[in-house]
Structure 1
Amino acid sequence: MGIHCESKEEYIYEMMKNFKLVDMREQYMDIITEATNESLSYIDFLVRLIKVEEHGKLARRNSKLINSACFDITSTLEDIDYSFNPSIDADKINSLGTLQFMDKHENIILIGPPGVGKSLIATGIGRNACKAGKTVLFINAKELVDKLYESMKYGDLVELLKKLDKIELLIIDELSYIKMDKERESLFFQMIRRRYEKGSLIITTNLPLGKWDSLFSGQLAATAILDRLIHHCHILSISGDSYRVKGKNR
């Protein structure tokens, strides 16, 4: 049964509402005016109408992906002050920002002292991934390990691991300030193993790779985890002064 409308405009509005053409519904009258003023052909008018909906849907999708990613900061790669810290390789960062590493299911490990921009870089790459329509999750390392442990306790581990498997780019921030027991270490290893050559990771840490045994039960566990992480991996070591201290000094 069709929709009864009093006018053509009302019919168009209601049908676009039914078809969930949000941006067309809001802007089609303005586009009709533009088409009349510019003497657009029918096909050019239709293209302009479709582009309005396309751009709107992309914007809503990107916004949803960015909100779901749970970024701590709003920075992008364009916000990095390379002149302040010459140890950051701008060409390398911009190359990683193209997301080709994700196509190859490669990882990134950012190593350096607090405040040098590790999380900023990770967030910038993550935001690029969201804009490309990819699912991203930014999470503190301790929070992630605790969530894995809690899900195991309450019988939800398989479900959580499956959710994490679907995240195309998992960003684990501050893998530095925790000491895992055997159970948490095993859970973390499970997650890393499941992502191996299937999904990309970005990890930020203060610890050089040679000191990762301090995070786990010993060198054997650290080696097992590192073997999978660094097999296909971009490792960036950043030194220099802290951005945060720079801001305070200013």
Structure 2
Amino acid sequence: MLTHPTLALLTDLGLHGMAIAFQDLQSQPEALALEHGDWLALLLERETTLRRQKRFESRARAAHLRHDAHVEDVDFRATRGLGRGLFLKLAGCGWIRERRGLLLTGPAGVGKSWLACALGQKACREDFSLVYHRAPRLFAALALARGDGRYARMLKALARVDLLILDDWGPEKLDDDQRRDLLEIVEDRYERRSIIVTSQIPVDRWYEIIGNLTIADAILDRLVHNAYRIELSGESLRKQRSPAAASLSD
């Protein structure tokens, strides 16, 4: 078998997973008894796996998630009102395919940001694009973009991802520019893309944060209408857990 020319050709074609699998199979005597179709299936499987892993790594880097969190590590024993059934349903990412939202509320330290990042990491694994932003920093970045001509381009980039995580919204009341920014973001995503919003403020008080009732109606009608809700409660997990496990906090 022309091992070296085949490897060179696979590499030239960018089929690196197949090239690695080819070398592995060549080193296994039992593989020589496989049919050509079986060889091809194994090579294609390795190529698919490698490409899927590279896509995940690329999406994870672009997401800039605050926590290295995983849905498999969620502790349902903690007393904070997190329902196993609903969370596992969300971990399946069907709600992203349905272009729905998720509102995560609760006091500081109960794990809102960590849970949002865990769902974001799972979305990356399911080949969805996403980006994480803390709300105060996003509004500050949009204010700068408005001044230097990047505003429309930045909004377009936010609208393009399958999932936007808007973390730590409130309790400061929005100013006029921030209200318009949020309306643009929510309008771009309504029934087109998904969003996760985390906040210490209960949803029924979000009108107070937005400030302008007319704009608040427009924002919340789009944001709350088809969104799942998780309302967490209890003491801060920072107080309950050792420093090594304190990553389950906001």
Question: TM-score, normalised on structure 2?
Answer: 0.91
Aligned to 1:39: 33
Rounded Cα–Cα distance in structure 2 between residues aligned with 1:196 and 1:86: 29
Rounded Cα–Cα distance in structure 2 between residues aligned with 1:196 and 1:236: 19
Q: Which of the pair has more CA radius of gyration?
A: 1
Tell me the SS of whatever aligns to 2:28.
helix
Residue identity opposite 1:44 in structure 2: D
Question: Is residue 2:103 matched to residue 1:103?
Answer: no
**Equivalent pair of 1:172/1:203 in contact (CA under 8 Å):** yes
Rounded Cα–Cα distance in structure 2 between residues aligned with 1:79 and 1:158: 38
Question: Is residue 2:233 matched to residue 1:239?
Answer: yes
CA shift for structure 1 position 24: 2.0
Change in CA separation of 1:188 and 1:86 when aligned onto 2, cut-off 3 Å: closer
Given candidates 84, 87, 90, the residue that maps to 1:93 is: 87
Aligned to 1:197: 191
Change in CA separation of 1:86 and 1:147 when aligned onto 2, cut-off 3 Å: closer
Residue identity opposite 1:185 in structure 2: R
Q: Which runs of 5+ in 1 are unaligned?
A: 1-6
CA shift for structure 1 position 220: 3.3
Aligned to 1:18: 12
Aligned to 1:60: 54
Rounded Cα–Cα distance in structure 2 between residues aligned with 1:235 and 1:86: 14
Rounded Cα–Cα distance in structure 2 between residues aligned with 1:119 and 1:65: 19
CA shift for structure 1 position 248: 4.2
Which range moves more in the overlay, 144-153 or 230-239?
144-153
Rounded Cα–Cα distance in structure 2 between residues aligned with 1:57 and 1:35: 27
CA shift for structure 1 position 157: 1.5
1:1-250 matches, within 5 Å, as: 8-34=2-28, 36-37=30-31, 39-85=33-79, 87-248=81-242
Which range moves more in the overlay, 178-187 or 121-130?
178-187
Rounded Cα–Cα distance in structure 2 between residues aligned with 1:30 and 1:76: 31
Rounded Cα–Cα distance in structure 2 between residues aligned with 1:11 and 1:103: 43
Percent pairwise identity? 24
Rounded Cα–Cα distance in structure 1 between residues aligned with 2:181 and 2:195: 16
Q: Alignment length, in residue pairs? A: 244
Residue identity opposite 1:160 in structure 2: M
Root-mean-square deviation over aligned CA pairs: 1.9
Change in CA separation of 1:37 and 1:184 when aligned onto 2, cut-off 3 Å: closer
Rounded Cα–Cα distance in structure 1 between residues aligned with 2:170 and 2:30: 62
